[in-house]
Amino acid sequence: MDKSQTQEWHVPTIDGEINDKTAKELGPILLAPFRSKDRQKLRTPRRGAHIIEMGLLLPALMLGILWFVDVGWGFHQKNVFENAVREGARAGSIAADKDVAESIAFRTWLDALIPTRDEPSFTASVVGVSPARVIQVKGETTVEPLVGLMGGSTHSLVVTRKIEERSRSASSTLEPNSGLILTKPITLGRSLTVHLENQLKANPPL
C-alpha cells in the first residue's frame, strides 16, 4: 500500500506523550451518537403498554369500588333498621300500646324506601305493672348486599322504654270501642300522627 494513501490519526500530545486526559474527555462525546442509536435498537418497544396496564388494573379498581359500595349500603340498612326499632319504642311508650309500636316501626322502615326481598319483623310487648311498665320492641332483619360481593347478614335489636305517665292517664279517658289511642294533645312524630288520623277516620267517636 502506498504511503500517500495511508491516513494517520493524530492525538494531542504533551512533550511527545499521549494526553490521556483529553482522550478520555473526548471519547464519550464522540461515541455518544453511536451509543444512543444502539440503545434505541435494543430498547423494547412500549407502544400499547399503557393500555395493557390499564386493562390489568381496571378490574381490581372496580372490585374495590363495588366493595366499598356494598359496605356503605349494608351500614345504611342497619342504621335505618335500628332507627325504626327505636322510633317504634318511642311511639309505643307515648301511646302505651304495643300495636302502635309495631305499626310505627314498620312504617318508619317503609319510609326509607329500601328495596329488600324479605321485610323486617317487629314485635312489641308491654312488660311490668303500673307504675313501672315498660314496652319492649324487638326487630329482626336481613341486611342484603347491593352488588353481591358481600354475603347477607342478620341483625336483631331490642329497645326498651318506660311507658310515660301522661300516656296512661290519656288512655284511661278513652271511650269504649272508640278505636282511639290518645285523646289528649301530645307532641308526636309525623308517622304516629298519621296513624292516629287513620284510626280516627276508620272508627269515629260516638
Nearest Cα residue to 166 out of 182, 179, 190, 177: 182
Residue 177 inside a domain? The answer is yes
Domain extent, residue 167, equals 64-202
Residue 112 inside a domain? The answer is yes
Residue 12 inside a domain? The answer is no
Residue 121 inside a domain? The answer is yes
| pLDDT tens string 102-132 | 999 999 998 888 877 788 999 999 887 777 7
Helix axes of 190-202 and 49-95: crossing angle, nearest 10 degrees: 50
Domain count within the chain: 1
DSSP 5: G
Residue 105 inside a domain? The answer is yes
Residue 1 inside a domain? The answer is no
DSSP H or E stretch at residue 32: helix 20-42
Residue 153 inside a domain? The answer is yes
pTM over 0.85: no
Residue 2 inside a domain? The answer is no
Which comes out higher in pLDDT, residue 76 or 116? 76
Burial 62-99 (b: 16+ CB within 10 A, else e): eeeebeeebeebbeebeebbeebbbbbbbbbbbbbbbe
Q: Residue 140: what pLDDT?
A: 93
